[in-house]
Amino acid sequence: MSLPWKLRETFSPEEIQFMVENEPIKIFPRFTTKPSVRGAARGGSAPSAQPRWKLLTANDTPLNNLVAIQTTQVALWIALLLKQQGKCSIVAPEWLRLAQLQKHIDYELKNTERFSDLPWNWLVVAQLLFSKAADDLHDPVHLLRGKVQDLREIRLGKIGQGLKHLNESHLQLDNLSLLEINELRPFVLGVMNKLKQVHGSVSEDQPDE
């Protein structure tokens, strides 16, 4: 059919990354695009000849007003593209610090029943920044990697625990990130759909069950 079988029921990891790349992030640009008032007044034709940013999917006004070393917010995919060219450095989000991650780990260990409120894209953002912008992070990358891995494993353990509670009515999974949901999806939905069918056939036989 027109959609590959693999993508029928779920998203591919690349598509998850695509969604995450549309989120805003802060950068330090290393060049200036803001048209100077002086230049515009002097030569009328110069600013109009200047190539301007005109985007469809992302807000383009900050890109037209970049000033070097002044933070701005742009979409993550633009930040990565600029970073690749060496035209900006990316400001790591608040939660991607050793202290913050440690807090999350402590919270996870203390509350065995729930997940800590990491942003919904934490795994993907961490992975992207580690691989593409490792030199912009405040703390050494290998330590951050370790913490992220710890968090990941703690949460995986909890998810494994939670799978005991699969049922035929519903499930609540607050603060689970999109990537974690996506890898769970085929299994959880498959099992719950089967349970629902079994339940349906049972209650048909004995209506007052």
Partner 1 sequence: MNIDIDDILADLDRDTTAVDSSLITQGHNDTTVLGSDGIPLNKQRVVPAAISPVSDFQTLMRFWRNERMSPELLPYPHLLMERTLRRIQDQLEHIECVSMGYLEEQSGSAENTSESVGSTALLNKLPLLCMEADLERLKFVVRSLLRCRLAKIDKYSLYLRQFDSEHGVVPISELLSRQELEYHERHSAMLLKLLNNSILRHMPPEAQAVDDNDGSVKMVDEPEWDRFVFVYVNGPDTKQGVDPRLQVNELGQQFYPVSIQELHEEAELALGGIYVMRYNVVRELVLDDMVQLI
| Distance in angstroms (rounded) separating the CA atoms of residues 90 and 150 | 24
CB of 53 vs partner 1, minimal distance in Å: 5
Neighbour order of strands in the sheet with 72-75: 72-75, 24-29, 88-90
Instruction: Identify which of 122, 119, 23 has the alpha carbon closest to the alpha carbon of residue 80.
Output: 23
Q: Which residues bind partner 1 (CB under 8 A)?
A: 1-3, 7-8, 11, 15, 18-19, 22, 31, 49, 51-61, 63-64, 77-78, 81-82, 85, 87, 168-176, 178, 181, 185, 188-189, 192-193, 196, 199-200, 203
Q: In the structure encoding, which two tokens stand for residue 99, read together?
A: 């202290």
Cβ nearer to partner 1, comparing 26 with 52: 52
DSSP 10: S
Tell me the CB-side half-sphere exposure of residue 181, using CA atoms within 13 A: 16
CB of 48 vs partner 1, minimal distance in Å: 9
Cβ nearer to partner 1, comparing 169 with 206: 169
CB of 6 vs partner 1, minimal distance in Å: 12
88 backbone dihedrals φ, ψ, rounded to 5°: -160, 165
Cβ nearer to partner 1, comparing 49 with 69: 49
| Distance in angstroms (rounded) separating the CA atoms of residues 90 and 140 | 15
CB of 149 vs partner 1, minimal distance in Å: 23
**How many C-beta atoms surround the C-beta of residue 70 within 10 A?**
12
Cβ nearer to partner 1, comparing 20 with 148: 20
Cβ nearer to partner 1, comparing 119 with 141: 119
Q: What is the largest CA-CA distance in the chain?
A: 87
Cβ nearer to partner 1, comparing 98 with 178: 178
Instruction: Identify which of 191, 33, 40, 24 has the alpha carbon closest to the alpha carbon of residue 119.
Output: 24
CB of 158 vs partner 1, minimal distance in Å: 14
| Distance in angstroms (rounded) separating the CA atoms of residues 57 and 50 | 22
CB of 145 vs partner 1, minimal distance in Å: 26
